[in-house]
Amino acid sequence: MSVSTSETFTRQPPLSSSSASGHSNRPYDTLYFAYGSSLSHTQMALRCKCTPERSAVPTAIARLHGWKWIICERGCANVVYTGKVGEKPGYSGDEVWGVLYVMSAEDEKILDGFEGLDWAAPKAVNDLIWVSQGARPTEQGNGRHNKVYLDVKIAEWKDKQWAQQLGEQRVRVLVYIDERDVEEGTIRPEYVGRMNRGIRESVALGLSEQWVAQAMRRWVMPGIEARQGQVDKHG
């Protein structure tokens, strides 16, 4: 996949997520950008058992520019870098809307498990730039996702304390990305209900319903929602 040399990825959580939070003294708390079934704060509360009162509370609605939302070959949500950003009036370019959560180190580790990280894979280099011709070293290995940190633009803060303390409209956040399965596929039947739950809950928070109609409804049929307590196809 060819990627612009202007796109920079880092493997370290942004300092502002810990130093400016005021929520915790832990040094590795992270702002996490959810774009799939974790748009649902209900699902986040079911997964984040250590500090759900913080890790499962929506902090902001945000937009990731230059990326496209798809259902990939594995049948679940993924984001693919296109580099297409809005340069003309009336054209917003490719973008992905999502929900930000403040993840504690403990809950981030839990989420790593749900997202299928390969802990045995070699770690990628920090602040590494993708080159237009050549593959970026990956830590995905045999796992389902990589962990990368990208800049997102805040559409609306939902937590006044974070809005005051960060005081920024653009922040660097954790994004789980599948860099292997980047072609469009067919959504898994069990995933439809969880995505609809995430769509309903995130739209109620302020996520763009127009963007949902344009980007998500091609794959996610309305009218089916996950049963209470469902967090994946097994639980």
d(CA 40, CA 58): 9
Q: Is 35 among the annotated ligand-binding positions? A: yes
**Between the CA of residue 37 and those of 8, 24, 209, 213, what are the distances in Å?**
26, 26, 16, 16
91 is in an annotated binding site: no
Name the active-site residue from 115, 168, 184, 225: 115
Annotated ligand binding at 77? The verdict is no
32 among annotated binding-site residues: yes
Distance (Å, whole) CA 50 – CA 1: 37
- 92 among the known binding-site residues? no
Do the annotations mark residue 33 as ligand-binding? yes
List CB contacts of 93: < 8 A, sequence separation 6 or more: 65, 66, 84, 85, 86, 87
Is 115 among the catalytic positions?
A: yes
**Could you tell me where the beta strands, DSSP code E, fall in the chain?**
8-9, 30-34, 58-65, 67-71, 77-81, 95-103, 128-129, 146-157, 170-177
Binding residues are 32-37
Binding-site sequence positions for substrate: 32-37
Residues with catalytic function: 115
